[in-house]
Chains A and B, each alone.
Chain A
Amino acid sequence: MRSHERTARRYAKALYDVAREAGATDAVGQEMEQVAAVCAGDAGAHDVLTRPWIKPADRRGVAVAIARKIGVRKLVQDFVGLVAERGRADHLPEIVGAYRTLVDAELGRARAQVRTAVALTDAEKRQLSGKLEHALGKRVILEEQVDAALLGGFVAQVGSLIFDGSLDGQLARMRQRLARG
C-alpha cells in the first residue's frame, strides 16, 4: 500500500510539473477528478484499463478515448493514456488525491472533510468555511459527506486537525467523564 502511494505521488508530481508549466494546475486537477470518477463508475472501462493481458497500446487507446469523450484537455488525455499504458490505471484515485494535495499546497488552501448528520445549508457551509479559514489561516474547501450514523452536528477534519462538533462526540466525552467518575 505504501509503494502504491509512492507510485501515485511520483505520477502526480510529474503531471503537476507539466501542468504548472502550462499554468493550469487547478483546471488539470478538476479534469483529472472527472476522468477518475468516470473510470471508477464504469466497471467495463475499469476492467479494460486494469487487465494486464490487454495490450498496453490498446489500454492507452481506450483511456485516451474516454478522456477525449469527457472533453478534457490534451495534457490530461496524454497523461491518462500513459498511466493506462503503464498498467497503473488502478492508481488513478491516489494519483488524483496526491495531485490535489500538490495543487492545494501551491494555492495555499486546505480541504476539510466534513461528515454531517444532515446536509449543511449553503449558509452553514459558508460559515463553517469562514471559521475554518480564520482558524487555519488559509482558504478551505469543504468536502461534505452526509453520514446517517451521526446523531447530529458534524465532524470536520483538515489534515491531522479534527474538530468534533457532533452530538456523538459530546456523548462520547460525557461517557468518558461519567465512567471515570
Chain B
Amino acid sequence: MIRVLAIAALLLGMVPSAALAAEGGGGLINLDKSIAIQAINFLLLLLILGKLLYRPLLAKMEERTQAIRKSLDEAQAARAEAQRERAEHAAKLETAYAEAQAIRATALKEAAEEQRRLVEGARAEAGRLVESARNEMAQEVTRARQELRREVVDLAITAAERLIRKSLREEDHRRIVQDAIGRVDKVN
C-alpha cells in the first residue's frame, strides 16, 4: 500500500513539472485548475481502485499465502508421518525378520530332534524285530525238537507195544498181574 501511494505521489510530482515544462517551452501539462481536478480524480480513482482491486487482491494474496503455508505444513506433516511410518515399517520388518529367524531356528531344532527320534525309534524297532525273530526261531526250534521227540517216542512205544503183544506168553501175563496186585498196596 505504501509503495502504491509512493508511486502515486511520484506521478503527481512529475505532473506539475511536466505542465510547467509545457508552459515554459511547450510542456506536456498545463498548470491550471484542471490539474487540481485531475489530481482529485486521480485520488478518487486511487481510492476506488484501492477499495475495489487492491484490497481483494491483498486478501486473495493473503489467502493464497495461507493456503501455500498450509500446504507446506501439511506436506511437512505428511513427510514426518511418512518418515514415522517408514521407521515403523522398518521396525516391524526387523521384528518380523527376527521372528522368522527364531521360527526357522526352532523349526530346524525340531526337525533335528524329530529326525533323531525317528532314527532312534527305527533302531529300537529294528532291535525288537530282530529279538522277536530270534525268539520265534528259538520257539520254532524247540517246537520242532519236541515234535520230533514226540514222533520218535510214538514210534518207539508203538514198536514196543507190537513186540510185547507178540512176545507175551501166559506166564508173562500171570507175572504182570501178580506185579500189579502187589502194587495195589501202594495206592494209598
Q: Which residues of A contact B (CB under 8 A)?
A: 116-118, 120-121, 124, 127-128, 131-132, 134-135, 151-154, 156, 161, 163, 165-167, 171, 174-175, 178-179, 181
Contact = CB atoms under 8 A, between A and B. Distances in A.
A131 B185 contact: yes
For the complex of A and B, 5 pairs with smallest distance between CB atoms: A165-B180, A131-B184, A178-B153, A152-B176, A153-B176
Contacts of A163: 180, 184, 187
A132 B184 contact: yes
Nearest to B180: A165
Contacts of B47: none
Contacts of B153: 175, 178-179
B62 to A, nearest CB: 125
- Give the dominant DSSP class at B's interface: helix
Given A131-B184, A161-B187, A181-B149, A151 B177 contact: no
B173 A165 contact: no
14 contacts: A118-B170, A124-B177, A124-B178, A124-B181, A128-B181, A132-B184, A134-B185, A152-B168, A153-B176, A165-B176, A174-B157, A178-B153, A178-B156, A179-B153
Contacts of B168: 151-152
B180 A154 contact: yes
Contact of A154 (B160, B164, B177, B188): B177
Interface residues of B, number: 27
B183 to A, nearest CB: 6
A131 B187 CA distance: 10
B152 to A, nearest CB: 8
A53 to B, nearest CB: 51
A173 B142 CA distance: 22
Nearest to A166: B180
B161 A171 contact: yes
B154 A175 contact: yes
A130 to B, nearest CB: 9
Nearest to A120: B177
Nearest to B183: A165
B67 to A, nearest CB: 116
B79 interface: no
A175 to B, nearest CB: 5
